[in-house]
Amino acid sequence: MDIMVNEDKLSSVLSEFARTLITDFPIQRILDHLVERIVEVLPITSAGVTLISAGLAPHYVAASNDSALRFERLQTDLSDGPCLWAYESGEAICVADLTSDHRFPQFAPAAVAAGLGAVFTFPLRHGDSRLGALDLYRESAGDLDVDDLAAAQTLADVVAAYLLNAQARDEARATSDRFHHSAMHDTLTGLPNRLLLHERLEHASQRAKRTQTNTAILFADLDNFKHVNDTFGHLVGDELLLAVAQRMSGLIRSSDTLARFSGDEFVFLYEGLTSPGDVEILAHRIYDAFAQPFELAGTQLIVSASVGMAFAGPGEEVTNELLFRADMAMYQAKRRTGGERNIIDIRDALLIMDDRGLEADLRLSLANHEFHVAYQPIVSMQTQRIEGVEALLRWTHASRGPVPPATMVPVAERTGLIGEIGTWVLEQSCRDHTSWRHGHPNTALDLSVNVSVRQLLSPAYYESVADVLERTEMNPTSLILEITVSILIEHGDRVLTMLHELTALGVRLALDDFGTGYSSLSYLARLPVQVIKIDGSFVGDIGTSPGRAIVGAVTNLSHALGLVVVAEGVENLNQRDDVHDIGCDYAQGYFLGRLMPAAAIAALLDPPMLDQPVHVQAAIEQLVFEEPATAVAS
């Protein structure tokens, strides 16, 4: 005799199952439990769920016992049975007696022989979507009453809802994983990028402390890479970078990291070294890897690299400071001439810039006014004219030559000179801007100046900005101070208060290098910023789907919040066109204008020059810009 559905049990099953919809329990575990509970509340002996996709063979998902599993597989193996009919028709199929029902000529005899008397199948559906079927099996023949059938269809609908929820959850997780991977890897080479490298540095530091082993960072930079791009084009340049990445990947172990830091710069992170001598062996392996020419699209290129090394002893911390030292050593290797191997160890005190000597030189250069400000144009994507410039500090030492900002700024911050130097940069650039405005009163031009965390933390910074604006007669609304979101994360309300005070002066704020480090869209609502500058690493990947999606997402949300978007690092025509099509308001980069002195900016502001397309202004820049290439690296 049929047993009426126990409404309390059914309600309990539905409530229990509904709670799983908001969990991330494995789908197999939940469905296995569900079919077992179905057997408890319906007059059946077993139950099973089969998932079906159009064009593919049905595949088993869950069964309450071995018998149900056997019947599920039997329908799949024979391609015959009520499961397939219910899926295709979208209607429930009831077979109260398999011995007298002739709709399934292959399945029915085999099922009866295996001890099955009746089967009731309900489609798993959601709107027009069909997912599979829920099968209810009885060992003896007999129909289900109306209430049982209604309860079974309700349970089938619940199964379908869970499957859809699980699929959506899995797709969202997969999308998140893909996004995370693309955010942590260089699109061109597939290598870890700068973000993932910094994460690996933290892990390496923890392992070094635990194992008391040595760690080394080797910073490699291709020599004369710009000449390759200029001579053969950016496609060949990209092909060369990919070939270099593939060749250098053979120089690392599974426990090491090779990252593309930026442009033609690569970083090796070697862990678990037994002695300092291992570093030199690794460096020479990198150098020797360039001994063979690269065959690229029918072009044979011979390329060399400059390598800087930095070493951390047993258990020593592996931090950004170690990366900075390897970078500094690499710049020293760049300055070598005479055909010798371009490999420098940061420990070689005769060949590197020691911090103490650099600090003394920095103080002297500040007193002797040996610094200068260079400017990079910021171009409107709507008018294709220069509507802003970014001011960047440059220092060309009398004997050392151009000192990279990555070397100079940390020393200035450690010595406390960054405040004085920053004020000088602000005042000099404001004076240049005032001069441009007097010479071109009808030309609107914004001035962007970077601000360090130590400047913002200084109680006197607000007064220094106000004094500079007054002394130089600078229009506050034309000044944009650039900050990074890490400043807010590390120093919170203290910096936020200062930012609000600065905006009260009339100046605007820009969030620089957005997308790197700890950047998060959630911070846009907290900061009183008006401009978002998308980091050049994302613009460099804009030709790919993930890169374009990231730039597009940041641009769209920024516009929704009323913010202006500047794309940094535009280095070719395709990138310029892409940021324009996405809707970025402004762009800057070597394609649109290299760093140049104030006089060159004045020349570009003349009406005849503004009427020229931006990309043909390179000839003018070459006439007025004579600063060595190493000094313009930002």
Place of tokens 């209607």: 91
pLDDT value for 601:
92
Nearest to 320, CA basis, from 184, 454, 217: 217
Place of tokens 């050049």: 536
Rounded percentage of the chain residues whose pLDDT exceeds 70: 80
User: Rounded to an integer, what distance in angstroms lies between the CA atom of residue 459 and that of residue 330?
Assistant: 37
DSSP string, 37-66: HHHHHSS-SEEEEEE--TTS--EEEEESSH
Give me Rg for the CA atoms of the chain.
34
**Ranges in the chain, pLDDT < 50:** 1-5, 337-341, 347-353, 517-519, 609-611, 613-634
For the chain, counts of helices (H) and of strands (E): 23, 21
User: Rounded to an integer, what distance in angstroms lies between the CA atom of residue 507 and that of residue 470?
Assistant: 13
Nearest to 282, CA basis, from 272, 294, 292: 272
pLDDT value for 381:
95
User: Rounded to an integer, what distance in angstroms lies between the CA atom of residue 251 and that of residue 606?
Assistant: 53
φ, ψ at 630 (rounded to 5°): -65, -20
User: Rounded to an integer, what distance in angstroms lies between the CA atom of residue 516 and that of residue 506?
Assistant: 28
Q: What is the pLDDT of residues 359-371, one digit of tens each?
A: 778 888 887 778 8
Tokens of 36: 């077992």
User: Rounded to an integer, what distance in angstroms lies between the CA atom of residue 97 and that of residue 11?
Assistant: 29
Structure-derived torsion over alpha carbons of residues 485, 486, 489, 492, reported in degrees to the nearest 10: -70
Q: Please enumerate in sequence order all residues whose Cβ is within 8 A of that of 153, keeping only pairs 6 or more positions apart, or say none.
A: 92, 122
User: Rounded to an integer, what distance in angstroms lies between the CA atom of residue 217 and that of residue 307?
Assistant: 10
Tokens of 531: 């401009």
Tokens of 278: 């291992």
User: Rounded to an integer, what distance in angstroms lies between the CA atom of residue 39 and that of residue 19?
Assistant: 20
φ, ψ at 524 (rounded to 5°): -65, -35
Tokens of 606: 């003349």
User: Rounded to an integer, what distance in angstroms lies between the CA atom of residue 280 and that of residue 270?
Assistant: 12
Tell me the whole-structure pTM to 2 decimals.
0.49
Place of tokens 């613009």: 539
The residue count for the chain: 634
User: Rounded to an integer, what distance in angstroms lies between the CA atom of residue 537 and that of residue 482?
Assistant: 18
